[in-house]
Amino acid sequence: MRLHQKGELSILRDLKEKFNPLLKRKDSGIIVGIGDDAAVFTCPNEKILVTTDMMNEGVHFDLSYTSASQLGFKLVSVNVSDIYAMGGKPKFIFLNIALRGDVSDEFFWDFFDGISIANNIYGLKLLGGDISSTINDMSVSATVVGVGQKIIKRSGARIGDKIYLTNSTGDSACGLEILKKLSSRGRNIIKSYGFGIINKEKRQQKWLTLNNTNSKNIKLDFNNAEPLIKRHLMPVVRYSEEINEIGTSMIDVSDGLFIDLLRVCDESGVGARLYLDRIPISKNLKYACKLLNLNPYKLATSGGEDYELLFTAPDGIYPFKDVVSTPANSSSKQLSITCIGEIIPNARVVIALDGTELPLRAEGYQHFGS
Ligand code: ADP
Ligand code: MG
C-alpha cells in the first residue's frame, strides 16, 4: 500500500500504537507522549540539551544504495552525536518527515524500524514529530533532547592542551566512494543489510566489484569494504564517561577533521598544531585507498560523517602519542583515543609526513561552499 492510500490520521494512529507503549517506564519523566498537541516531560535538576539535524535526499542520502531502515538509523545517530559531543546523554527524540505520497507502507515502517533500533541502542524515546507529503525529494529531520551535568563546549580549548581523536576518521568518506562506484546489484546487496544479523547473500559474497570508468573494474574484499560502507550508512556513535571528565572542549567530526578542529580553534580563540603521522588510519581504509587510488590522509582529514569525537584535554592526562583504549558503551566494542596534536597560541598548522609545517586549511564539507 502507498502512503497516500492510507492517509495521515491512520498513519499517526499506527505510530502512536507502535511507540507509545514503550513510554511506560515510570522514571523516564514523560507525562505526555505521541498523540496530543505537544509532548510533556520533566527533567528535574539537569541541564537540558537540544539539537536538530536534517537529512535531504540527493544531498545527504541516495536511496539507490540506502535502505529506509539505514536512513532512519543514521538520522538518529547523527543527532545523538551532537548530544554526546556536548557531554550529554540523549533522552527524547522528535521526527519531522516529508515523504512523497507514492512511498510504500513498507518503506515507511522500515524507516521507523531503523529509528527503533537506534533508539534502543542510545536509550531514546520517540515523543512526537510531524509528517508531511512532498512533491519531490524526501526530507527527514530529528530533534533530540538530552540531559547533562558537565557540558563540554567548543570554546573550552586552552593553550597547552592536547588534541585527541576517538578511533579514526576517513572510513565513512571512503565508504561513500565505494557506494558511488557500486553496480546496481552491489547497491541492492548493501541495501539489504540489516542490523547485526548476518546477511545470507553477503556470506556468499567474497568480492565487491566496483565500476571504474577509466580502467578495468576494481575488486574489493568484502571483509574490508563492509566496515567502511557501514560506517557511512549506519554509523554508531559513542559516549564516553571518561572523556566527559577530562575534556576541555569537544566537537563531533561531522564535516571533516580539519574543518571541525578549526571550529574549535575559532570558538576557543586559540591555534593548533596537528601531526599527520599521528592521525590514525584504519587498516580497511588503507586497503581500500590503495585499490581505489585515493589518499587515506586526505580522506581522514577532510572526509566527513565519521561522527568520531575530537576533544582537547590538559597535558599529562594521556602520554603523548599514546593510544589509550577504554571500553565504551554497549553499542561499540572498543574506543581508542589517540593524541594527534596540541593547542598553541595562534597558528593553525599541520606537520606533514616529511616534517614540513603546512597551514591547516578548512577542508571538509560545507553546504553552499564552492
Ligand atoms: P498537530 O496537527 O497538532 O501538529 P499532528 O496531527 O501533526 O498534530 O500530530 C499528532 C500527533 O502525532 C502529535 O503528538 C505528533 O507529535 C505526533 N506525530 C506526528 N508525526 C510524527 C512523527 N513523524 N513521529 C512521531 N510522532 C509524530
Ligand atoms: Mg502537525
Query: Which of the four pLDDT bands, split at 50, 70 and 90, describes residue 335?
Result: confident
The cell numbers describing 286, all together, are 588503507
In a domain, 367, yes or no: no
Domain end among 183, 199, 232: 232
Considering the domain boundaries, does residue 364 fall inside one? no
Give the distance (Å) from ligand 1 centre to CA of residue 283.
Answer: 45
Residue 353 lies in a domain: yes
Provide the domain count of the chain.
Answer: 3
Residue 207 confidence (pLDDT) above 70: yes
- Ligand 1 pocket member 97 (CB < 6 A): yes
CB of 190 sitting under 6 A from ligand 1:
no
The C-alpha cell that represents 247 in the structure block: 575534556
Which residue from 245, 85, 278, 272 is spatially nearest to 162, judged by alpha carbons?
Answer: 272
Pair 143, 118 in one domain: yes
Q: What digits encode the pLDDT tens for the residues 143-162?
A: 999 999 999 999 999 999 99
Same domain assignment for residues 190 and 123: no
- Please state, in angstroms and rounded to a whole number, the distance separating the CA atoms of residues 22 and 125: 7
Cα–Cα distance, 180 to 75 (Å, whole number): 20
Atom of ligand 1 at shortest range from CA of 12:
12
What is the model's pLDDT at position 370? Answer: 52
Kindly indicate the confidence band of residue 322, based on its pLDDT and cuts at 50, 70 and 90.
Answer: very low
The cell numbers describing 327, all together, are 571500553
Residue 87 gets the label, from left (phi > 0), alpha (psi -120 to 50) or beta, of: left
Q: Per-residue pLDDT for 188 more than 90?
A: no
Q: Are 141 and 261 in the same domain?
A: no
Over residues 82-88, the mean pLDDT reads: 97
Q: How far is the CA of 129 from the centre of ligand 1 (A)?
A: 5
CA of 19, closest atom in ligand 1: 25
Query: What is the domain extent for residue 188?
Result: 175-232
Residue carrying C-alpha cell 564552492: 370
| Residue 365 maps to a domain | no
Ligand number nearest to the C-alpha of 23: 1
From ligand 2's centre to the CA of 133, what distance in Å?
Answer: 12
Cα radius of gyration rounded to whole Å, the chain? 21
Same domain for 206 and 320? no
Cα of 131 to ligand 1 centre, how many Å? 7
List the CATH number of the domain containing 24.
3.30.1330.10
Average pLDDT over residues 100-129: 96
**Could you identify the atom of ligand 1 that is nearest to the CA of residue 36?**
14
Higher pLDDT, 40 or 191: 40
CATH of the domain at 271: 3.90.650.10
Residue 169 DSSP label: S
Q: 215 in a domain, yes or no?
A: yes
Q: How far apart are CA 289 and CA 297, in angstroms?
A: 10
243, β-bridge pairs: none
